[in-house]
Chain A
């Protein structure tokens, strides 16, 4: 059982994010991140020195240089020296590492952040570098083309059709009208095929952004937040890399992670799904057995803003923020990594009864 093995209660107590935009030419990663770090600390009244553990997620391939995360550390103010770690993954996995650190009892508070700037390069091409370097990457199959394979597999299986995909896009972007951080809001034309059967409307906006979360344990969480979002369970699982050995219409790793996180023990009222492409929401809803009564992506999800490396952490942050506000009592957050939902994380967050 992965949920709370040490019996220690841990909660998300604060969340902040940038306004996600197509480009942030005038800002370095550190400059983009700094206001978010200040905001998330301000929400709790904590200072850098009060944070017991810091963990971040980012990718050198987006930044275009080795050790790009070292500059972000300068922005944290790591002096005197801090207990700190970094994953070359979406920030949701940095949150997972911080959760384990708090479980050990070595830390009571943790700062988790992640960021990504897709604007300097062609993110479709950059993501091809994630693929098997000997047999697949030399062919440069880009992220939209791979997502289109998945969408076509779903259509062929009778699980969806193009109008249903368009409805997913419209619903997410309609929800995003209430999210001031979103990059795409309201009615967005489905547009032409980018890679058939995916139209531009089925694809996420390309943009830059950052997010930060503060975790705290037990009574410390209650001091820092009126209604902490308790992490009742969190788990992540990976699948085979080769698309040829996977059933792209299903996400067994999401289902297993959800089981381990206790997601199926009781229904959730809200779900923030990291589905950059419309068809992936269909796959995830099925794997997570989400009924029509579940409020999916009140933030607009990754179809409204998809800063790569931060978009997963933002799902956890958005779900937690709903709990903080009293808009949700039990929310599911999901993050993904790799081509066609290869690796997936599920967290279940709960507020105390009101």
Chain B
């Protein structure tokens, strides 16, 4: 028996900011869920199950917060699942929810991911104490900077490429009302003059620390037929994981990422992603990860990703726009960041992306990764249902 096609009929986000002191965690997630329901013109009673995701519980200091959030998300009397797959969790959560529809376990599912970073300090939450790790790293930047340097050495990319990515994403964010950073006076010079944090990653090439939530309503064909606005159809979705450290691991272009993308393209019948995909929301927490992931995802050959960035191909009006929303570099509620990529991809193919809409976007990729470049989750959504 074939799988039930899965459609996105509702998307909701909070305005991502450094600190939402006006709401509790429950208030934050409910705001995003309410907006997704409004977008789909549905009520809490239409939801069969809730699938929630977030990054480590230490980020808010609440163990398994889905227990406390059951009431706020209308989950009482319903199934509620809590996913945690590191930074990729927002994407994984959407895929777990999609499986419930694809397997015909449920007709309509609310999926949501959040982080309220202001409740704690994520950088130190990520800096593991002895005996788990040697005390050499401070936050994710300390972990990823050496791998970026490896990419620069391997590809011969000029040192300016990272700043170009940041300058583009921060300008895109000005067109997205939900983005955390709205730097109206941003210039390339300002990016390049910002302080060096983890060489070669400058302050302006780093994601912010955000409070925010993102929600989607996923449904089956019958649900999509009732939707008030065009649905986004899931054409392919996959997760892949590999160990953190092992002899021969390629941190620059991990095989788990390549395999995950290949699986998604196979499901969607994509043979030439560069030509057949109209845009991508890629998890880029540090500027240089744009060219690195362009290669890992098959949009560019090995060592060629930076050339796309440099040539303006990934600009909003380019041939392959990347992070039209401003990306993780402009808003990073960690656990939600992956789901925002998935949701922004859906908004594009629904034609609902507002000022950062790519004209005629028919197929858009949503991507998330996490851990030590080891957990990947991706989906490809389209304006037309699968096999049509």
Q: Which residues of A contact B (CB under 8 A)?
A: 2, 5-8, 54, 59-61, 65-67, 69-71, 73-74, 77-89, 93, 96-97, 100-101, 103-106, 126-127, 129-134, 137, 235-242, 252-253, 256, 337-339, 342-343
Contact = CB atoms under 8 A, between A and B. Distances in A.
Interface stretch (B9-17, B84-92, B221-229, B339-347): B84-92
Contacts of A256: 77
**Cβ-closest 7 pairs across A and B:** A81-B256, A103-B103, A66-B56, A84-B241, A129-B63, A88-B84, A61-B63
A100 B103 contact: yes
Interface stretch (B123-131, B181-189, B325-333): B123-131
Contacts of B99: 97, 100-101, 103-104
A79 B56 CA distance: 24
B57 interface: yes
Contact of A240 (B76, B100, B239): B76
Contacts of B244: 70-71, 73-74
Interface string B6-35: 000000000000000000110000000000
Nearest to B100: A100
Contacts of A241: 67-71
A60 B82 contact: no
Interface string B313-341: 00000000000000000000000000000
A343 B105 contact: no
Nearest to B86: A67
B82 A70 contact: no
Contacts of A79: 242-243, 246
Contacts of A86: 83-85
Contact of A80 (B68, B125, B255, B371): B255
29 contacts: A2-B105, A65-B129, A67-B371, A73-B243, A73-B244, A73-B374, A79-B243, A80-B259, A83-B238, A83-B239, A84-B239, A84-B241, A85-B85, A97-B81, A97-B99, A101-B103, A103-B104, A130-B62, A130-B63, A130-B67, A132-B68, A236-B80, A237-B77, A238-B75, A239-B77, A240-B76, A241-B70, A337-B67, A343-B67
A126 B238 contact: no
A238 B75 CA distance: 7
A8 B64 CA distance: 31
B102 interface: yes
Contacts of A252: 77
A353 to B, nearest CB: 25
Nearest to A54: B241
A342 B70 contact: yes
Contacts of A238: 67, 70, 75-80
Nearest to A71: B244
Contacts of A65: 128-129, 132
Contacts of A89: 64, 81-82
Contacts of A103: 99, 103-105
Interface of B: 1-3, 24-25, 55-65, 67-71, 75-86, 92, 96, 99-100, 102-105, 125-126, 128-129, 132, 238-246, 254-256, 259-260, 371-372, 374-375
Residue of A7, A70, A88, A96 most packed against chain B (CB within 10 A): A88
A104 B2 CA distance: 8
Nearest to A136: B68
Nearest to A132: B68
A86 B371 CA distance: 13
Contacts of B128: 65-66
A274 to B, nearest CB: 15
Contacts of B100: 100
B243 A105 contact: no
A338 B86 CA distance: 22
Given A6-B104, A81-B259, A338-B67, 4 more contacts: A77-B243, A85-B239, A129-B63, A238-B80
Contacts of A2: 105
Contacts of A339: 67
A239 B67 CA distance: 9
Contact of A237 (B78, B105, B129, B241): B78
B63 A59 contact: yes
B53 to A, nearest CB: 9
Given A84-B240, A238-B76, A104 B3 contact: yes
Nearest to B2: A105
Contacts of A338: 64, 67
Nearest to B248: A79
Contact of B61 (A6, A129, A342): A129
Contacts of B240: 81-84
A105 B239 contact: no
Contacts of B76: 238-240
